[in-house]
Structure 1
Amino acid sequence: MSTRARIAPFLIVLVILLAGGTVWWVGQIPRSGYSSPDAATDQNPRRVAVEAVPVTTGTIRDVRSFTGTLEPGQAFTLAPKTGGQVERIHVDIGDRVRKGQVVAELADAESRQAVAEAEAMLGVARAELNQARADARLAERELERTRRLAGRDMASASALDTAEAEAQAQEAAVEVARARVKQREAALARARVQLGYMTIRANWPDGDATRVVGQRMVNPGDSVGASEPLLSVLRIAPLTAVIQVPERDYARLTEGQNATLTSRALPGRTFDAAISRIAPRFSPDSRRARVEVRAPNPDRALKPGMFVNVRVIVGEAEDATLIPAEALVRRREEPGVYRIRAHSPATVEFVPVTPGIRNGDRIQIRAPQDLSGRVVTLGQQMLEDGAPVTVAELPES
């Protein structure tokens, strides 16, 4: 037997083994996404395990969140109108002050002495005025007597002229004395004003009757100049939260719009607020606009300088169709959901949707409005239209 005849049977066996291995290997390839005529007749198709939840209806709000810092409703600095040495300070940081309350005093010995001197000078001026008035009356009587004598040719014309001149002079002296009294009165008033400057009071034009000391800049014994700050006084009810709003949210905000504030410093508490002012321009650097949110802060729990989170409701939908956020997927760039068909076995269908408001883990579905049933929330990456599924039973929450 030739060599070729001996090798031929081995080649035939080898080809048969290779063909059988190829058929076995092809049979092991997953058929996800592939459907054959034979698969349609398979009595036990491969099912994908998924989780699904029912579509619900309810109210959903479009809430925008911003961060900001609280600023006092009003803040001003108390300072003396004249220089001097601080003698007493009656308040400290955190103290409440009443409108008109004395909060500090400067040493006033010199000012009191100036008032005393002004009062004395005024007394002298008034005495001089009284003397001038008496001299004027005397000169007037002398003039009348000289006129009567001149009428009987018992006084010369020169004597009459002299009497008239003296009366006029004394009347002028009265006017001078009266002006000097007014001058001394003004000097006394000025001295008293200067003395008043030694007492610093907390005064503000309007607002609540009490405010809070935010900062103290001096101590008793310090020498201060005119207009040098002594204390800062704050109005903390209400407060203003300042936020920076990007362009995409700017048009959704309006003055008077309700808002809520929260702060890490006060966990578990929410404070009512409202937008009070919206800047008409954007910062060229940040492309954001300043928005002020007014918080009444009746119990004064919020403090200036606190970092806060501001939430503003810019939209609301009632009786909206709602799905969990994880149910929304994209198929060929089109948003949609996989809905469970109530067949046996259960299958899924892809339903294109138009999403609306998103709030946390819920999304509004604007279209189709009649979306109902259950939608898949886990396992979508293994699905296609008509795929058989096994829906896992979720524990009740």
Structure 2
Amino acid sequence: TTQDSDKKSDSGTKSDAGLTAQTLLPVKTFRLDSIQPAVQTQTFSGIVMARRSSRLAAEHLGRIAQIHVDLGDAVQAGQVLAELDNRELLAEKSVLEAQLSGAQARLDELQKGPRVQEIQQAEALVKQFEATLSLRQANLKRTEDLVKSASISKQEYDEALTGLEATQAQLESSQKTLELLREGTRKEQIQSQEAVVKGLQAQLDKLHVLISELVITAPFAGHVQARLVDEGVIVSPGQPIVEVVETGSLEIHVGVPAHLVNSGALEAARILCGKDALAAELVRVSPTIDHRTRNLEAVFALQPDRHVRPVSSSNQHHKGYLSSDTQCRIGQAVDVQINIRSDSSGWWIPTSALVPATRGLWSVLIAKAIQQDDTGNQSDPENVGPDTDLSVSDPISGKDSIIHAMQVELLRSSGDWSQIRGAVTGSEQLVLNGTHRITSGQRVLAVDSTQYEADSLDNIAPGSE
């Protein structure tokens, strides 16, 4: 009976040993310490913003006469967007222009001085008074002789003397007038008139400014974000009329911890807009930490002359580029991925290798090659327990193996990568994927793909934290 039992046991063992690679489930495994990433990636949420945005307002009280744009219209720098009623200012401008024209004409007259005809007229008047004075002098002498002979009265003599004196005064006056005409206009008169002209010109310039301020123009090229009033509305000073955003120069604003700024990791940040990687450059960082988020605000400028690259996990050198201005809009959320050097507090494994355990814990599946004894018999899979040393010194490939679940502590998860800590040494062969198809204690065909997985996983960019 004992011999029959031994024979039956040998028969069962040979039956188990008769399982071939064709009947065992092939499982990809990899050596834990062979694919540790040099860096890990943290992802922060950013927002696309216009570099400049302006709510254009009226500077003076007035009525809206015309609005030339509407929501979504593209505008160029200096383009007229809206106009206020300027009829009253135009009328005042006409009055000032007329006054300035008269003052300028008077200034020109003073600067040119008297005309030749005026001087000649003054000279003729002087000659006339000289001739009259000579006649008066001759008459006075004859009158003196007649008075001595008592031929005329004393009154007639006095009248002749008075006429002489009056003519002499007229002559002196005409001579002074001639001298003034010959000397020209006084410098003080010209300066006084120049001041009048400048004052009127200043008033007219101020009026031109007021008229120009009734015209609302685009300060930069972009698009109309909002049309806030319509024609006929009376607007007060400072009341917004049109909002314009600069769509040609977009920026990414994101809050990041201060230690990332100091480490210089921001310069190599990767920005994703949906499935597309954007070409952007770090341009500035806020000098103070936000008291609410405890982060610094970093600003990345999208490059207008470059393009975005579609993200592809299978081909990181994809050559198809898309225009950045068609992929991102103002206000859209983007992911800013920043690579930081991995610490040594645990092991990094692909997230696909994690298996949920009880009570919210996690475990990994380890493949242990089934060893043969000196007689050629394989070790019993049932004898593999939690305390069994599952580390191997040589890689296994295409060998019968037993699956064992080992509980680990999940330190953090970063998309495609997760950091664990536990009773692992780094030499274990971990199951990479397909963990839902196998269980602890299952016999499988372990295929060592360490080199293959190391090459392919090196290019996987960890996802968001």
Distance in 2 separating the partners of 1:134 and 1:274: 66
In the other structure, the counterpart of 2:328 is 302
- Cα root mean square deviation, aligned: 5.0
Is structure 2 residue 239 aligned with structure 1 residue 228?
yes
In the other structure, the counterpart of 2:273 is 262
How much does 1:64 deviate?
1.0
Is structure 2 residue 253 aligned with structure 1 residue 242?
yes
How much does 1:357 deviate?
10
Is structure 2 residue 50 aligned with structure 1 residue 75?
no
Q: 118, 138, 145: which one pairs with 2:96?
A: 118
- Could you say what secondary structure the match of 2:197 adopts? helix
How much does 1:83 deviate?
2.6
Is structure 2 residue 30 aligned with structure 1 residue 55?
yes
Shift in CA distance, 374/254, structure 1 to aligned 2, threshold 3 Å? closer
- Could you say what secondary structure the match of 2:93 adopts? helix
In the other structure, the counterpart of 1:12 is none
- Could you say what secondary structure the match of 1:93 adopts? coil
Distance in 1 separating the partners of 2:86 and 2:210: 9
Instruction: Verify the 8 A CA contact 2:70 2:224 in the aligned structure 1.
Output: yes
Is structure 2 residue 195 aligned with structure 1 residue 195?
no
How much does 1:89 deviate?
0.6
Is structure 2 residue 230 aligned with structure 1 residue 219?
yes
Larger radius of gyration: 2
Query: TM-score by structure 2 length?
Result: 0.54
Shift in CA distance, 371/143, structure 1 to aligned 2, threshold 3 Å? farther
How much does 1:122 deviate?
1.6
Q: 298, 308, 313: which one pairs with 1:291?
A: 298
Query: TM-score by structure 1 length?
Result: 0.62
How much does 1:59 deviate?
8.8
Instruction: Verify the 8 A CA contact 1:336 1:350 in the aligned structure 2.
Output: no
Shift in CA distance, 171/338, structure 1 to aligned 2, threshold 3 Å? closer
- Could you say what secondary structure the match of 1:244 adopts? strand
If each structure's strand is expressed as a fraction of its own residues, which one has the higher value? 1
Distance in 1 separating the partners of 2:418 and 2:185: 101
Identity value in percent: 21
Distance in 2 separating the partners of 1:178 and 1:270: 67
In the other structure, the counterpart of 2:389 is 349
Instruction: Verify the 8 A CA contact 1:253 1:314 in the aligned structure 2.
Output: no
If each structure's helix is expressed as a fraction of its own residues, which one has the higher value? 2
How much does 1:221 deviate?
0.8
In the other structure, the counterpart of 2:152 is none
Where in structure 2 are the equivalents of 1:1-397 lying within 5 Å?
Answer: 53-55=28-30, 60=37, 62-133=40-111, 136-137=114-115, 141=119, 159=173, 164=179, 167=183, 171-204=187-220, 210-246=221-257, 251-252=262-263, 254-263=265-274, 268-296=275-303, 298-315=324-341, 323-325=349-351, 327=353, 338-343=366-371, 344-345=378-379, 349-351=389-391, 359-362=414-417, 371=427, 373-375=429-431, 390-391=443-444
How much does 1:66 deviate?
1.2
How much does 1:124 deviate?
1.3
Distance in 2 separating the partners of 1:188 and 1:239: 41
How much does 1:87 deviate?
0.6
The count of aligned residue pairs is 323
In the other structure, the counterpart of 1:3 is none
